[in-house]
């Protein structure tokens, strides 16, 4: 059953910032209602990659993804990119009709670039619009520089990052959109 007011949330972890050169190493999916209540928690998938792909990571990525345990999960994963795409698409198709929900997340336009390049079937499921939580953050930083900032608790794991993004948008709604 699908609901027209549901929001599709995605977060990706990648080996770097360039979708032409770098690869997706983790994807997580979540669906909320328009009040930002979690309706369904989708898959969180560490995507199997070769050492050559992992070698593309810079020092920050190596340190971060090793300390979070993601590199170990990638090395032990037997789920490839296409299977991760299909599992994620199957999850969203259960809840949201094609082109119905904007793609939601933090810096989600960047994630969309990777989806278009590496997971085009999944990218095509979402509306062309998106809700980018980082845009709210940037606007508030400029228009209300003395305002309290949202404190993230992220481990730079995809599902943790999505939940942080949902909570951050709730924070902005409660503090700036009354």
Of the candidates 32, 121, 47, 110, the one whose C-alpha atom is nearest the C-alpha of residue 77 is 47
21, 51, 128, 177: the catalytic one is: 128
Residues 6+ apart with CB under 8 A from 38: 30, 31, 32, 166
172 included as an active-site residue: no
* Three-class secondary structure of residue 31 per DSSP: strand
Tokens of 74: 């990638």
- Ranges of beta strands (E only) in the chain are 7-14, 24-32, 38-46, 103-105, 130-132
Tokens of 164: 């942080």
Residues carrying an active site annotation: 128
């Amino acid at each position: 059953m699908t609901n027209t007011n549901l929001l599709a949330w995605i977060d990706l972890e990648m080996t770097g910032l360039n979708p032409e050169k770098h690869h997706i190493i983790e994807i997580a999916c979540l669906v909320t209602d328009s009040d930002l209540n979690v309706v369904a928690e989708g898959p969180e998938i560490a995507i199997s990659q070769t050492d050559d792909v992992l070698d593309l990571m810079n020092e920050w990525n190596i340190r971060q993804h090793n300390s979070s345990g993601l590199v170990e999960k990638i090395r032990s994963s037997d789920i490839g990119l296409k299977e991760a795409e299909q599992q994620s698409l199957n999850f969203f198709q259960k809840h949201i009709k094609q082109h119905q929900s904007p793609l939601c997340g933090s810096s989600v336009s960047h994630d969309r670039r990777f989806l278009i390049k590496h997971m085009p079937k999944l990218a095509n499921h979402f509306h062309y619009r998106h809700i980018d939580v980082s845009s709210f953050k940037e606007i508030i930083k400029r228009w209300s520089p003395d305002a309290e900032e949202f404190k993230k608790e992220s481990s730079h794991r995809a599902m943790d990052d999505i939940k942080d993004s949902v909570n951050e948008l709730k924070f902005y709604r409660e503090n700036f959109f009354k």
